[in-house]
Structure 1
């Protein structure tokens, strides 16, 4: 796997080889259990097609949230999966259905319906796709916001790869069984243009273009602050955040840091907000988001770097009456607008553009009416 991409964009080259006792009146089949912190955490029992886990809360977990505790107690599942299972009335505490936020006490008894385990292969799903272009070698898709590109921990269904597997008979397998056709990636909350390979030869050619940085990528963003310079290049190395593992940060002379360069150009300013065109020259995880945040102009609704996850008309206009409290945008205002590359088969330069999605356009329309 070659990690070389624009913001939230990872290029996929050849994949590496992958090599208490249950209640007696349930009539279920007891499965192997394990211990947590040496206390009696119970075992698992199968009732029909469902598997439950019975746990007696140990002293060490006294006062913890039930979703946090079960994430530690049930290996192989993310906290998101555990939370979703609890929300689906999958957990009882001393016989009562509870919410994920409930605090547990020592000696209480939990019965938890285990989520379905993830599979190693992509499961085709009939999910609509906005296909911008297709030929016998590749497909270009306008990815909607909220869609994960490929299955990963906590996101095993509803992915772009599931939609692709359902719609297309043949896709490249260079990236491995869970990433058919996937050459590069966009983050879940970043919408826009993404190219998919149908054959291995096309996949390898596209991967090489991304790795050599000859693919031109243009993003549209709205920042939650005014950018004073009309245009500039940000050259600042990016590495892992020192204490938040899901974030990146500007870090010089650190073992995780890599050079990063981003060109930006202001499209228009609206009070304290800015519409901006961004062209990453290098490709690092969260590059655009980190660089704009470094300017003091984090992307609007960027949960990680702006500190807020939604915006209303009242927040944009500075008024806060009930008629203006409707949420206009609830994900980062970042859109992969254009992608230019050489077609692996014809050798021609091709540019694909995805129009701004409806949620970002709602914000643009409000901003452009501001004085």
Structure 2
């Protein structure tokens, strides 16, 4: 029997697809059979690989206990099998509004909001950019695979800004080569903690896997999987306790700007992975900058920013069909712009 779940409003959930559950009593005559072999014969619509994976994942209980696929049955056992759903082969089209900055027959350029995952992954099956693109466009490139139609490059979930999408495989390959050859120019804006001494600088330090946390990367020159990474940055504005910088990554490593600004001594504001703070409240700001005119103006618990203050501001590419050099710009995200305005107000009050 296939399980189905409903959300609180009565509609079927569009999250990760449901798996299936089975309760089976093992006949006496099946004594001596392996657990995986027995289930494969009973559930012919499932492959033995699927069944073994489910057993290994603890999704099959034998009389309430987890067993190995090779477990020998003695008959009369009660089996409770609750298989997780397989990962979807492609994004489910969803009617999500998109801010389209540019579009032609070959590509589209989107202003991605903060909080949106680019493509489906474990824990993020719905609400992705890929799902929005699948609903919005009839044709998207297939080079990136079934779960990433049109996706040439990516942005972190909590990074807002400009992202280029390929509509055809030819355009995708052309754009991918530009990223590979490092001819794409990317400019990010970030609010960072502190006030850099230098007006501009370059961080050149390899990035590789974190030794213990899978969700993080690390600055590690000695790790065999570390790769060269360079980021140029320039200070655009300085405020009490903070600065706005423009960052140009010369390479495209995961979490590169976030790690390199941390290495420079100026972590990106509200970067919960690397900056030690997931949000900034008015109370936090008062304690950092100690400005009198902020007293009693806004409640301490008001959240000013609750995601990393990093925005993909501009990208310059060579158009895959015309060969024209084109620059696309995403307006600064409202939450970052509001934070900048408040910091400017504080700077003037000093």
Q: TM-score range by the shorter chain?
A: 0.7 to 0.9
Shift of 1:115: 7.1
Distance 2:164 2:188 in 1: 15
Q: State whether residues 220 and 334 of structure 1, in contact with CA within 8 Å, keep that contact through their aligned partners in structure 2.
A: yes
Stretch of structure 1 that moved more, 123-132 or 312-321: 312-321
Paired residues of 2:59 and 2:82 also in contact (CA < 8 A): no
Match of 2:201 in 1: 232
What corresponds to 1:355 in structure 2? 331
TM normalised by structure 1 equals 0.69
Q: Give the conservation status (yes or no) of the 8 Å contact 2:118–2:154.
A: yes
Change in 2 beyond 3 A, CA 1:316/1:201: same
1:19-168 equivalences under 5 Å are 29-30=22-23, 73=58, 117-168=86-137
Assess if the C-alpha contact under 8 Å between 2:22 and 2:81 holds in 1. Answer: no
Greater displacement, 359-368 / 313-322: 313-322
Instruction: Write the deviation string for residues 215-234 of structure 1: whole angstroms up to 9, x where unpaired.
Output: 00000001122211110011
Counterpart residue number, 2:222: 253
Q: Which runs of 5+ in 2 are unaligned?
A: 1-20, 27-56, 61-79
- The CA distance in 2 between the partners of 1:310 and 1:207, in whole Å, is 35
Distance 1:265 1:32 in 2: 68
Query: CA separation of 1:113/1:144 partners in 2, compared to 1, >3 Å: closer, same or farther?
Result: farther
Between the two proteins, the alignment pairs up a number of residues equal to 273
Q: Which runs of 4+ in 1 moved over 3 A?
A: 72-75, 111-118, 319-322
Pair 1:275-2:244 in alignment: yes
SS at match of 2:246: strand
Contact 1:329 1:359 in 2 (8 A): yes
Check conservation: 2:23, 2:81, Cα contact below 8 A: no
Aligned-residue offset at 1:314: 2.8
Q: Give me the CA root mean square deviation.
A: 2.5
Aligned match of 2:315: 339
1:29 is displaced (CA, Å) by 5.0
Given the superposition, is the C-alpha separation of residues 257 and 122 from structure 1 closer, same or farther in structure 2, using an over 3 Å criterion?
same
Shift of 1:364: 0.8
Deviations 1:20-63 (A, max 9, x none): xxxxxxxx951699xxxxxxxxxxxxxxxxxxxxxxxxxxxxxx
